């Protein structure tokens, strides 16, 4: 069975409560600082939060580091299809313009990026 905070991360994430998802998994990560997988997932939630606020530069920076953290866990870890997440991160880097600090949150360019494909809590619990 997955840790309660890990499960709660996915519940918040799928509610669109990305900051809360970030915070709850960071609490778990603080006790396991060596866990790059958790660190990468925290950054996914932070990217979603940044995208909702139109913060392009922050999202790009987080996407670059999340690739580094998550790549060793491909293709799958703990219910997360890491390959799909890496594809999404690369899409973010392709779509989001380099050198742009911020866009209006309703900008069409930001709409080209779907929500990162993370499993729901049932899929995490079944692994």
The alpha carbon of residue 29 and the mean position of all alpha carbons in its chain are separated, in whole angstroms, by: 14
Choices 1.10.1130.10, 1.10.3450.10, 3.40.50.720, 1.10.1060.10: CATH for 4-125: 1.10.3450.10
Instruction: Encode 26-60: b = buried (16+ Cβ within 10 Å), e = exposed.
Output: bebbeeeeeebbbbbbbbbbbbbbbbebbbbebbb
Q: Are 45 and 62 in contact (CB under 8 A)?
A: no
Whole-prediction pTM value?
0.93
**How do the domains of the chain map onto residue ranges?**
4-125
2-49 residue pLDDT tens: 588 999 999 999 999 999 999 999 999 999 889 999 999 999 999 999
On whether the CB atoms of residues 116 and 83 are closer than 8 A, the answer is: no
**CB-CB contact of 96 with 89 (8 Å):** no
């Amino acid at each position: 069975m997955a840790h309660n905070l890990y499960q709660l991360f996915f519940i918040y994430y799928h509610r669109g409560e990305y900051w809360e998802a970030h915070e709850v998994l960071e609490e778990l990560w603080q006790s396991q600082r060596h866990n790059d997988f958790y660190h990468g997932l925290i950054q996914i939630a932070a990217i979603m939060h940044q995208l909702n606020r139109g913060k392009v530069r922050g999202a790009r920076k987080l996407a670059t580091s999340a690739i580094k953290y998550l790549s060793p866990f491909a293709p799958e870890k703990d219910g997360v299809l890491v390959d799909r997440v890496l594809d999404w991160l690369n899409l973010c880097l392709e779509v989001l313009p380099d050198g742009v600090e911020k866009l209006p949150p309703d900008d069409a360019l930001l709409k080209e990026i779907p929500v990162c494909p993370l499993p729901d809590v049932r899929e995490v619990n079944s692994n």
